[in-house]
């Protein structure tokens, strides 16, 4: 486990456990990990910045920006607002449930770990189901919402959600170890080994994984220091104006399902990210990603930097996502050491 807390000029960082169950190496406090659903907070910030720029409205429907995308089996994008996507009140089924249901054995996991999923693949899974509830009627955590929000961002900006997150958040805050991995399956060193544990005698290494299945709902990589800086910026209003900050802190009642891992009575958008952060502390078992540390507090959840090259290198350059957007002086290694990870998987 890795935890980091900053208060004013004071910083406290602690680690516990081992980074690898075989080597028993200690946890590296500077290690990279997959931040999972903390990615959603990054997306939420971009959406609310677009709202502040009057390029998008929270009351716009998904159908306005993505005509014909959400349809069939009672699903209707024309009745689902951007606000409802952000708040997890769209009623759309979570495709992740279906993916998790397929992982019944190590062999089943191996068939999925490096598969390249398209957004159409993910939406086809979700939209094969009827809605879990009517839009706005109930809270139900669904990664499908944030896949659609990533697509909305791209439609509004004519740019990828990864580039928008980089330009609007990662570069301004100097998050030099936060990035979207794209099609890379690697986790930069140092890092912990990720495991999927089926029983006391069966565990598999899940550190390397194609994160296309999570995409804009959970693909980012980061470090504790970067995530601390990001969450601090959220808290002090450095990324959003007062009106958007108020919107982000609006919550809705959360009952049942994943609400067990949400502190308090509800979750909103930043809360939706706060929820993700909280999930890191309480076990966001819906999607425990290889390289994540679900037992770490929110400040310890982060989104690592651009993947190192596939060929081992010690070049003293830091790559932002997308590559060549900015540079700094941090080495990129390939050794597999670092953070402790919990059982990982879809």
Instruction: Using alpha carbons, select from 100, 101, 92 the residue that is nearest to residue 129.
Output: 92
User: If you write DSSP's letter for every residue of 65-98 in order, what string do you get?
Assistant: HSTTTSEETTEEGGG-BHHHHHHT-S----HHHH
**pLDDT value for 28:** 84
User: Cα separation of 317 and 295, whole Å?
Assistant: 31
Beta-bridged to residue 199, according to DSSP, are 202
Q: Which residue has the tokens 């009517």?
A: 134
Name the pLDDT band for 246 (thresholds 50, 70, 90). very high
**Does residue 110 surpass a pLDDT of 50?**
yes
User: Cα separation of 187 and 318, whole Å?
Assistant: 15
User: Cα separation of 78 and 88, whole Å?
Assistant: 16
Which range among 20-29, 66-75, 115-124 shows the weakest confidence by mean pLDDT?
A: 20-29
Q: For strands 10-15 and 2-7, give the pairing.
A: antiparallel
Per-residue pLDDT reduced to its tens digit, 272-297: 333 333 233 223 433 323 333 222 22
- Contact indicator for 39, 303 with CB cutoff of 8 Å: yes
* CATH architecture of the domain with range 2-300: 3-Layer(aba) Sandwich (3.40)
Per-residue pLDDT reduced to its tens digit, 128-154: 999 999 999 999 999 999 999 999 999
**Both tokens of residue 233?**
């910026």
**Does residue 334 surpass a pLDDT of 70?**
no
Each domain of the chain, given as residue ranges in start order, spans 2-300
Per-residue pLDDT reduced to its tens digit, 290-332: 333 222 222 222 233 233 333 222 222 223 333 333 322 222 2
What is the model's pTM?
A: 0.76
Which range among 163-167, 210-214, 231-235, 271-275 shows the weakest confidence by mean pLDDT?
A: 271-275
Per-residue pLDDT reduced to its tens digit, 71-102: 999 999 999 999 999 999 999 999 999 999 99
Positions annotated as catalytic residues are: 37
């Amino acid at each position: 486990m890795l935890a980091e807390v900053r208060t004013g000029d004071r910083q406290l960082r602690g680690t516990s456990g081992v980074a690898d169950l075989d080597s028993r190496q200690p946890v590296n406090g500077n290690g990279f990990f997959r931040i999972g659903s903390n990615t959603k907070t990054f997306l939420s910030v971009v959406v609310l910045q677009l709202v502040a720029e009057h390029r998008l409205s929270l009351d716009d429907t998904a159908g306005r920006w993505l005509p014909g995308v959400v349809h069939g089996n009672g699903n209707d994008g024309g009745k689902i607002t951007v606000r409802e996507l952000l708040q997890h009140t769209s009623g759309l089924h979570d495709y992740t449930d279906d993916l998790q249901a397929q992982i019944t054995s190590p062999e089943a996991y191996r068939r999925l770990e490096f598969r390249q999923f398209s957004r159409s693949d993910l939406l086809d899974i979700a939209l094969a189901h009827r809605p879990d509830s009517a839009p706005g009627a109930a809270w139900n955590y669904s990664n499908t919402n944030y896949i659609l929000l990533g697509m909305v961002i791209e439609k509004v900006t004519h740019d990828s959600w990864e580039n928008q997150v980089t330009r609007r958040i990662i570069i301004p805050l100097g998050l030099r170890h936060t990035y979207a991995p794209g099609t890379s399956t690697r986790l930069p060193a140092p890092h912990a080994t990720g495991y999927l544990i089926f029983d006391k005698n069966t565990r598999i290494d899940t550190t390397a994984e194609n994160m296309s299945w999570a995409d804009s709902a959970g693909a980012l990589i980061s470090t504790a220091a970067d995530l601390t800086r990001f969450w601090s910026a959220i808290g002090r209003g450095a990324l959003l104006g007062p009106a958007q900050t108020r919107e982000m802190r609006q919550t809705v009642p959360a009952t049942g399902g994943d609400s067990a891992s949400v502190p308090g009575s509800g979750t909103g958008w930043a809360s939706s990210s706060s929820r993700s952060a909280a999930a890191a502390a309480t076990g966001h078992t819906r999607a425990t990603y290889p390289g994540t540390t679900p037992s770490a507090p929110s400040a310890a959840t982060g989104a690592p930097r651009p993947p190192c090259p596939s060929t081992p290198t010690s070049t003293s350059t830091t790559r932002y996502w997308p590559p060549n957007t900015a540079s700094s002086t941090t080495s990129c290694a390939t050794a597999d050491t670092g953070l402790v990870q919990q059982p990982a998987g879809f």
